[in-house]
Amino acid sequence: MTFSRSVGGVALVIALALAGAAPATAFEPVNTDSNNVAIEGYDTVAYFTEGEPVRGDPAHEHEWQGARWQFSSAEHRDLFAGAPDRYAPRYGGFCSGAMADGRKFRADPEAWKIIDGKLYLNFTASGIETFAEGAAEAIPKADANWDRLEQVNQPD
């Protein structure tokens, strides 16, 4: 009886230790909704070609980085498929300002800015303006924090 309690106790301690070693939430490389649609279904190419946020259409969808990206046209889908790193928002579409502070928050696809040819999203419109004004300092911080989050949370 003492032996089985000891074995059970050791198993419990090991299970708790392993659970504590895992991150509380898995790394999400892309800001998706409950249907795994990236950036709330907005067409990420449209920011560059139309100069404004445009809703995508599920009929023009492309899967990339484990997320479903939607586009307003087949042409936009094909542009993205050919060069996703050119059109995808930085930091997986999470809030750029929060990333500069070392935090990961969802972003509002309506709060955006293209800086040096890259798309940045933020939690609020005023926040993206603040981020853009301090971009020379904020972008390197956000890049370093994003790289750190990817390295810490990616499986071996």
Q: Is residue 40 part of a domain?
A: yes
Residue 149's pLDDT is what? 84
Question: What is the rounded end-to-end Cα distance, in angstroms, of the chain?
Answer: 40
Q: Is residue 42 part of a domain?
A: yes
Is the pTM higher than 0.95? The answer reads no
Rg over alpha carbons for the chain, rounded to the nearest Å, is: 20
Which residues span the domain enclosing 118?
Answer: 30-153
Question: By CB neighbour count within 10 A (0-12 exposed, 13-18 middle, 19+ buried), where does 131 fall?
Answer: buried
Express each pLDDT in 69-99 by its tens digit: 999 999 999 999 999 999 999 999 999 999 9
**Number of separate domains in the chain:** 1
Q: Is residue 44 part of a domain?
A: yes
Q: Is residue 23 part of a domain?
A: no
Q: Which residues of the chain have pLDDT under 50?
A: 1-25, 156
Residue 10's pLDDT is what? 43
Contacts of 35 (CB under 8 A, 6+ apart): 68
Q: Is residue 72 part of a domain?
A: yes
Instruction: Tally Cβ neighbours within 10 Å of residue 135.
Output: 17
Q: Is residue 15 part of a domain?
A: no
Q: Is residue 24 part of a domain?
A: no
Residue 20's pLDDT is what? 35
CA distances from 60 to 35, 44, 63, 93, 133 (A): 16, 12, 10, 19, 34
Q: Are 153 and 26 in contact (CB under 8 A)?
A: yes
Q: Is residue 65 part of a domain?
A: yes
